[in-house]
Amino acid sequence: MQSLGLAISYLIAINLATLLVLGLDKILAAKGGWRVPEAVLVLFVIFGGIGGAVAGRTLFRHRTRRSSFTARLWTGAVISLCCVGSLAAMSTSLVPPHPEEEPRSAVALAQAR
């Protein structure tokens, strides 16, 4: 359960950071100065910040007309979900069996019948 709390804390932090970076980029865009590269914004999404990115785009009405950025954003979200799914699948296969249960091979099951 401790790892679940850690994962939730991480997701809250990365989504808040993504929201703040989009807000910063909007301010910088209004001033006409240096901008946060799109690749950095997509990396935030890949690391789990899709909620913050969607909220930031809606809240700040930022980069909403750029279909190329939208495509990169959702591609990053799919990559993120694939990584999380892969990690979840690997973690369940690494869980040791319950000590009271003996693993049964196909041969042992056939002999039991």
Local confidence pLDDT in tens for the 113 residues of the chain: 587 788 889 999 999 999 999 999 989 888 888 888 989 999 999 999 989 998 998 898 877 677 888 888 889 889 988 988 887 777 766 555 566 655 556 666 566 66
pTM: 0.71
Cα dist. 2→7, 13, 53, 58 in Å?
9, 17, 27, 33
Q: Which two tokens stand for residue 74?
A: 């959702």
Amino acid at 108: A
CB distance 28 to 36 below 8 Å? yes
